[in-house]
Amino acid sequence: QEKAPESAGHMERSLLHDTLTTDWRLDAADRMDILATPDHVGDVWLEGSLLLDAPVGGLGFRLDGAGNGYFVEVQPGSSTVLLKKLLPMQRDSGQQWFRYVELQRGDLSHPPRRGDTMRFRLILSGPYIECSLDGEVVLATLSAERLSGRVGIWAESGSIAAIEPQWSPLRPLRHG
């Protein structure tokens, strides 16, 4: 049985700087910060509007408690949208480190301006990742390195808000 979309819930604290909040709004003046759901999700559909008043920011998903995971990056004034992956790894020496991978670049037909509101839709289904902004599918790819985690928003040196975010779990894909 399908579950109807519901409010994506309330946030409590940002991941990197422990900033208190009561909703999907983050002020990250002079730094980068991430606001994510307290619970992990797997396959999910997430939709709402983003209000980005920062030089860079966007969506985060499959995040761990330290803020590592997948990031959709939007830069006001640029039509390019990036999908990045930042995950912990261990070097041959045994030292903990991070691995950064740019998974995909997409293009919007019109670059957003700082302070614009953009509709977004994020679909995570097994390894499939799809992100739409203002009705345009800008990212669609596969990555199965991490299939669950927290979802949220992030910004650097400014603010971001997800307005009326709604989500619904998706049934896992079955083949055959």
pLDDT digits (tens, 9 = 90+) for 127-174: 999 999 999 999 999 999 999 999 999 999 999 999 999 999 998 777
Q: Report how far apart the first and last C-alpha atoms of the chain are (Å, whole number).
A: 20
Q: Strand runs (DSSP E) across 11-149, as ranges? A: 25-36, 44-53, 56-63, 69-74, 80-90, 96-107, 117-125, 128-133, 136-142
How much is the pLDDT for 14?
84
What is the reported pTM? 0.90
Is the model's pLDDT at 1 over the cut of 60? no
Instruction: Give the integer Cα–Cα distance in Å for 157 and 145.
Output: 29
Q: How much is the mean pLDDT over the chain?
A: 90
5 Cβ neighbours under 8 A, 6+ residues apart? 45, 47, 166, 167, 168
